[in-house]
Chains A and B, each alone.
Chain A
Amino acid sequence: GQSLEQPSEVTAVEGAIVQINCTYQTSGFYGLSWYQQHDGGAPTFLSYNALDGLEETGRFSSFLSRSDSYGYLLLQELQMKDSASYFCAVRDSGAGSYQLTFGKGTKLSVIP
């Protein structure tokens, strides 16, 4: 079956750096995405890794190691508005569909 594991909650201080890990076991793998979801809101795309290595987009970076079935999202210079849930999601299907299998999400609380 498909499974993605990520911590349920993380708390960090404003201005600090936080890393949210994700390990996955899926029948197929074409890439790992990260989505942000504020309470009551829709998931918003943050990043995507199809190959090993680090992808940087502003304050957010995402890393993937395919051999370890592991990735992480790194948030730098944390701001209060970064308080949200963060989901890793695997694209586990090939041509014809880009369906995502989501993890259970990590609730990030940024404190002053």
Chain B
Amino acid sequence: EPEVTQTPSHQVTQMGQEVILRCVPISNHLYFYWYRQILGQKVEFLVSFYNNEISEKSEIFDDQFSVERPDGSNFTLKIRSTKLEDSAMYFCASSEASGRSYEQYFGPGTRLTVT
């Protein structure tokens, strides 16, 4: 069964450093998302991406964040200058363009620890 993959599974970085989280969505999906989940809390929407551009973003997704689809398979989330409060699990998700577009498939997540 096709699945969303994410790398790395765990990233430790120092405050102020840049990190890039990588995702490979399911191949025939056209909508891509990033969510984050601070330990013990709910999943929060960051950004959605369709047709090579951001379609929506939340208040969390400020100028420190950016997304990119550098090639036909990867989808990345960059945090330019990490803060302690960026420590969280980051999930990538994807969905079809039509039909069951409401069903989002989540990757296993990248645990980001900012020290």
Write the residues of chain A forming the contact surface with B, with a CB cutoff of 8 angstroms: 31, 33, 35, 37, 41-45, 48, 50, 87, 89, 91, 93, 96-105
Contact = CB atoms under 8 A, between A and B. Distances in A.
Given A31-B102, A42-B106, A42-B108, A102 B44 contact: yes
Among B33, B42, B108, the one with the most A-chain Cβ atoms within 10 Å of its Cβ is: B42
Given A42-B109, A43-B106, A98 B45 contact: no
Contacts of B33: 99
Contacts of A105: 42
Interface string B35-53: 1000001111100101000
A87 B104 CA distance: 13
A104 B38 CA distance: 11
A97 B48 contact: yes
Interface of B: 31, 33, 35, 41-45, 48, 50, 55-56, 58, 91, 95, 101-109
A109 to B, nearest CB: 16
B50 A45 contact: no
Say what secondary structure dominates the interface of chain B.
Answer: strand
Contacts of B104: 33, 45, 98, 100
Nearest to A42: B106
A47 B50 CA distance: 23
Given A42-B106, A99-B48, 5 more contacts: A31-B102, A37-B43, A98-B102, A101-B45, A102-B45
A24 to B, nearest CB: 13
A75 B103 CA distance: 19
A50 B105 CA distance: 18
Contact of A87 (B43, B55, B56): B43
Shortest Cβ-Cβ A-B pairs, 4 listed: A42-B106, A97-B56, A97-B55, A102-B43
Nearest to B54: A97
